[in-house]
Structure 1
Amino acid sequence: MAHGIDEVARVAGVSTATVSRALRGLPNVSVATRERVRSAAAQLGYVASPSAASLASGRTRTIGLLTPWVNHWFFSNVIEGAEQALRAQGYDALLHTFEVSRKVPRLRVDPDVLRRRVDGILVVGFPLDDSEVVSLLGLGHPMIFIGSSVPGQVTVRLDDLATGRTATQHLIDLGHRRIGHISGSPDDITPFSPPVARRRGWLAALADAGIPADPQLEVHGHFDLDGGRESMHQLFRQCPDVTAIFAASDEMAMGAILAARDLGLQVPQDLSVVGVDGHDLGELVRLTTMVQPAVEEGAKAATLLLELIAGGAVPGDVVYQTTLLDRGSTGPPRAAHGM
């Protein structure tokens, strides 16, 4: 006859909470304790039932995942990492997307779409305003932000300031002085959002090198390929002497490369381009980029959220660093070209 979790806890000499954490693979359980619990469970024939656990605890074993897009590289990779980590612990993801368009205002987050349906919430790259954050917190569930941070909330993010500074410094070290920047949306002014921090890194590197920051060298690409292409054409019209570009995402960077090709320019001979992400398709255009571990970020956020649901303590800010990957889209400038 199989025994319950209480008997497993008694034989292993631990609490029932520790049994649950050990068998679900959650952190803060020593290797020795985890093995003792597993041995006791095997000895007693105990197998945890996800459905029974959900009924007993009142939990749904589902995590709400809020994201503006699923077809952009960063978001799809974060979602993949989060879902892998959740599935490994017997949790499902409830995906809820909000259309973000240049043409129409974004719909506000409605907490009722998640009410009584989830045990926790992951917010992926979504710059929510204060009232939206308060409404989600009103659901009474743990919440973690990935990418865009919110003061006072647990966040898994990049060191975006260092990323922008390193990418721009790479171009400066190659000899560039007319370095443009393709950012996200002009409406994104939240101090803790990735594009704002990456822009600050661009400005900081220019200032450190004694290079004046020309406002005409900044354009907005809305984080997609078409936006990067259109904004690069605009930048060429405004500043035909630009020799290098730091784009805040690989998709915008690839758009910039397409714009250069439209005008008969060569990369990197006429224009050097560096992006951010590590997009799989970047290899096709030999895009130099600041690589980030997006899948790992998603998995880490999901693991931390499950820890919070289990009553554990987690760090308030988990910061990942990027790594410069030189694929060949950057090089020394040659004489300024005319348009």
Structure 2
Amino acid sequence: MADCLTMAAGIDDVARAAGVSTATVSRALRDLPNVSAKTRERVRAVATELGYVASPSAASLASGRTRAIGLISPWVNRWFFANIIDGAERALRARGYDVLLYTFDIQRSGERPRIDPDVLRRRVDGILVVGLPLARDELEALQGLGYPLVCIGWGGSEEATVRLDDRVIGLEAVRYLIRLGHRVIGHVTGTPDDVHPWSPPADRATGWREAMTEAGLEPDAGLMESGGFEVSGGRASVKALLARHPDLTAVFAASDEMAMGAILGLRDLGLRVPEDVSVMGVDGHELGELVGLTTMSQPVDEQGWAAAELVLDMINGKTPPRRVVFPARLVERTSTAAPRGVAS
């Protein structure tokens, strides 16, 4: 007869060897209450001796939890989203949770697909929504699932949110350009339909307008162009801005990728950065240093990690802060300078 210790032990084997019920084994190994310290130690010792490893699916059935978090993101191949997802996934994996990733095929023009909350029903314990401002009915449908929900990079006053103060970022970026002496400052924003009041590009555009207005400058509509958060969009946008405003001396883009695209667009036109036009962005993209991009740098992976910790706290019954705001800092490089004829 084969030695029983060479066979895969089950929870029943542990229970018999420890002289307790299978329910007690389950509670002891998951550190649940109503198990004495002495019994807990005995069960763990027997489980170790028998080589018993609890099945994740069995643990889920016993606890009523899936140990999975649904992560909704419009993209995975763009810098901000990739880094947020990486930070969240590392935090969740450290706590024994998996990530179920849901993305959307969003084109620069045209409506995106609506979120179907049923794809998450009974499959997750919580939800993270990354950089995807939702319509009110979509948000309410997700909330109706009854799972803790955290928004990253966007969010209104009612949702638990991890984000930047995007209005202040726009304000500080354009104030910096104004201090350099710029007076005709274009803005490259997100997509034309990205107008939710809690959306980062909408808030960054608000900051641009406020900084221009407080300096006595006119933030007219012709100075703003949609770049779709793409390098190609930034490249096309700066050309459109200059066609309307040949006197343009600076561009503030709502992302580093669009800012780098703007630099390419200026080169296409035979213009120099920053001698002819200054360019700055938002993010702190690793490639920004290669092109000397001035930017408002944000701690992206830390936001993903913080959001993951937040949703896990909510799952465990804790009351989270409704708003976690990360700072951004000005990183000054060679893509910005005083306009020609203005002393620096």
The 1-side partners of 2:192 and 2:276 are apart by 27
- Structure 2: gaps spanning 5 or more residues: 1-16, 19-23
1:111 correspondence with 2:127: no
Aligned to 2:275: 269
Count of residues paired in the alignment: 312
| 1:83-118 deviation per Cα after TM superposition (whole angstroms, max 9, x unaligned) | 000000010100000111123311100011111111
Match of 2:88 among 82, 93, 97: 82
The 2-side partners of 1:295 and 1:167 are apart by 22
| 1:9-41 deviation per Cα after TM superposition (whole angstroms, max 9, x unaligned) | 9xxxxx93799xxxxxxxxxxxxxxxxx9xx87
- Structure 1: gaps spanning 5 or more residues: 10-14, 20-36
For the 8 Å contact 2:310–2:320, the answer to whether it is kept is yes
Aligned to 1:294: 300
| 1:308-328 deviation per Cα after TM superposition (whole angstroms, max 9, x unaligned) | 011111100101110011121
| 1:149-168 deviation per Cα after TM superposition (whole angstroms, max 9, x unaligned) | 13311010001011001110
User: Normalising by the residue count of structure 2, what TM-score does the alignment of the two structures yield?
Assistant: 0.85
The structure with the larger Rg is 2
Match of 1:71 among 73, 77, 82: 77
1:16 maps to amino acid:
L
Match of 1:304 among 299, 310, 333: 310
The 1-side partners of 2:200 and 2:135 are apart by 15
Of residues 49-58 and 81-90 in structure 1, the stretch that sits farther from structure 2 once superposed is 49-58
The 2-side partners of 1:172 and 1:91 are apart by 47
The 2-side partners of 1:190 and 1:150 are apart by 10
Give, in angstroms, the shift of residue 4 of structure 1. Answer: 4.8
Within a 5 Å distance, the mapping from 1:165-244 to structure 2 comes to 165-244=171-250
1:138 correspondence with 2:144: yes
2:92 maps to amino acid:
L
Aligned to 1:24: none
The 2-side partners of 1:86 and 1:186 are apart by 34
Is the partner of 2:281 in helix, strand or coil? strand
For the 8 Å contact 1:50–1:90, the answer to whether it is kept is no
User: Normalising by the residue count of structure 1, what TM-score does the alignment of the two structures yield?
Assistant: 0.86
The 2-side partners of 1:223 and 1:42 are apart by 57
1:320 correspondence with 2:326: yes
| 1:223-273 deviation per Cα after TM superposition (whole angstroms, max 9, x unaligned) | 110011111110010001000011000011001100110011111111111
Give, in angstroms, the shift of residue 6 of structure 1. Answer: 5.7
Which consecutive aligned stretches of 4+ in structure 1 deviate over 6 angstroms post-superposition?
A: 40-43
Aligned to 1:162: 168
Is the partner of 1:102 in helix, strand or coil? coil
For the 8 Å contact 2:25–2:43, the answer to whether it is kept is no
Aligned to 2:32: 16
Percent identity (aligned)? 54
For the 8 Å contact 2:157–2:322, the answer to whether it is kept is no
CA pair 102-186 structure 1, distance change in 2 beyond 3 A: same
Of residues 210-219 and 105-114 in structure 1, the stretch that sits farther from structure 2 once superposed is 210-219
The 1-side partners of 2:265 and 2:25 are apart by 65
Aligned to 2:6: none
Within a 5 Å distance, the mapping from 1:38-57 to structure 2 comes to 45=45, 49=54, 51=56, 52-57=58-63
CA pair 242-50 structure 1, distance change in 2 beyond 3 A: farther
The 2-side partners of 1:177 and 1:304 are apart by 42
Backbone CA RMSD of aligned residues: 2.4
CA pair 85-328 structure 1, distance change in 2 beyond 3 A: same
CA pair 17-267 structure 1, distance change in 2 beyond 3 A: farther
The 2-side partners of 1:41 and 1:216 are apart by 71
Aligned to 1:124: 130
CA pair 58-6 structure 1, distance change in 2 beyond 3 A: closer
Aligned to 2:288: 282
Give, in angstroms, the shift of residue 53 of structure 1. Answer: 3.1
